[in-house]
A and B are shown apart, each in its own frame.
Chain A
Amino acid sequence: MRKITGNKLLVRALKEEGVDTIFGYPGACTIDISDELYKQDDIRVILPRHEQALVHEADAYARTTGKAGVCLVTSGPGATNLVTGLATANYDSVPLVCFTGQVAKNLIGNDAFQEVDIVGITRSITKYGVTVRNREDLGRIIKEAFYIARTGRPGPVLIDLPKDVMGELGSPDYPDTVNIRGYKPNTSVHMGQLKRALKMLKKAKKPLFLAGGGVNIARANKIFTEVVNKTNVPVVTTIMGRGAVPTNHPLFIGNLGMHGQYAANMAVEECDLLFSIGTRFNDRITGKLHAFAPNAQIVHIDIDTASISRNIHVHVPIVADALEAVTKMNEYVESCETDEWLARIRAWKEEHPLTMKNYTHMTPMDIIEEMNRQFDDAIIATDVGQHQMFVTQYAEITEKKQLVTSGGLGTMGYGFPAAIGAKLGNPDKTVIAISGDGGMQMNIQEFATAVLEELPLILCVFNNEYLGMVRQWQKLFYGKRYGMTNMRSGAMYRRTNGEQMPEYTPDFVRLAESYGAKGIRVTKKEEIAAAFESAKAETKVPTLIEFIIDPEDLVYPMIQPGGTLEDMIMDC
Chain B
Amino acid sequence: MDNSMKKRWISLYVENQVGVLSKISGLFSAKSYNLDSLTVGTTEDPTISRMTIATVSDDETFEQIKKQLNRMIEVIKVIDFTDIFVRMKEILYVKVFHCTPAAKVEVFQIAETFKAKVIDYGRDSVLVEFVQTATKNDAVVKLMKEEFKSIEVVRGGSVGIESISMMER
Contact = CB atoms under 8 A, between A and B. Distances in A.
B153 interface: no
A124 B30 contact: yes
User: What are the 7 closest A-B residue pairs judged by CB atoms, nearest first?
Assistant: A306-B67, A182-B76, A128-B73, A124-B30, A183-B73, A305-B67, A181-B76
Residue of B17, B27, B67, B72 ringed by the most chain A CB atoms within 10 A = B67
A148 interface: yes
Interface string B57-87: 0001001100110111111110000000000
A226 interface: no
Given A182-B73, A306-B68, A310-B67, 20 more contacts: A119-B19, A120-B19, A120-B22, A123-B19, A123-B22, A123-B23, A124-B26, A124-B30, A127-B73, A129-B19, A130-B19, A131-B18, A133-B18, A182-B15, A182-B74, A182-B75, A305-B71, A306-B64, A309-B60, A309-B63
B78 to A, nearest CB: 10
Interface in A284-314: 304-306, 309-310
A180 interface: yes
Contacts of B72: 182
Contacts, number: 43
Place the interface of chain A in its size category: 20 to 34
A148 B74 CA distance: 12
Interface string B1-43: 0000000000000110111001100110010000000000000
Contacts of B15: 182
B71 A306 contact: yes
Interface residues of B, number: 23
Interface of A: 119-120, 123-124, 127-131, 133, 148, 180-183, 304-306, 309-310
9 contacts: A123-B23, A130-B19, A148-B73, A182-B76, A305-B70, A306-B67, A306-B71, A309-B60, A310-B64
Interface string B124-154: 0000000000000000000000000000000
Contacts of B76: 181-182
A326 to B, nearest CB: 22
Interface of A is mostly: mixed
Nearest to B71: A306
A119 B77 CA distance: 23
Nearest to A124: B30
Nearest to A129: B19
Contacts of B30: 124
Contact of A180 (B68, B70, B73): B73
Residue of A123, A148, A181 with most chain B CB atoms under a 10 A cut-off: A181
Nearest to B63: A309
Nearest to B47: A181
B71 to A, nearest CB: 5
A557 to B, nearest CB: 31
Q: Identify the interface centre among B17, B19, B60, B73: most chain A CB within 10 Å of its CB.
A: B73
Contacts of B26: 123-124
Most chain B CB inside 10 Å of its own CB: which residue of A120, A306, A310: A306
Contacts of A306: 64, 67-68, 70-71
Contacts of B68: 306
A304 B71 contact: yes
Contacts of A304: 71
A123 to B, nearest CB: 6
A63 B75 CA distance: 28
Nearest to B60: A309
A559 to B, nearest CB: 25
B2 to A, nearest CB: 14
A83 to B, nearest CB: 15
A446 B134 CA distance: 58
A124 to B, nearest CB: 5
Contacts of A127: 73
Contacts of A124: 26-27, 30
A329 B74 CA distance: 33
A529 B72 CA distance: 50
Contacts of B18: 131, 133
Nearest to A306: B67
Nearest to B17: A130
A21 to B, nearest CB: 26
Contacts of A119: 19
Contacts of B63: 309
A572 B83 CA distance: 56
Contacts of A305: 67, 70-71
A305 B17 CA distance: 25
A83 B18 CA distance: 21
A148 B17 CA distance: 17
Contacts of A128: 73
A183 B23 CA distance: 16
A310 to B, nearest CB: 6
Contacts of B27: 124
A67 B15 CA distance: 28
Contacts of A130: 17, 19
Contacts of A133: 18
Contacts of A310: 64, 67
A131 to B, nearest CB: 7
Most A Cβ at <10 Å: residue of B14, B17, B71, B77:
B71
A181 B77 CA distance: 9
Most buried by B among A129, A304, A305: A305
B53 to A, nearest CB: 16
Contacts of B23: 123
Contacts of B74: 182
A148 B14 CA distance: 17
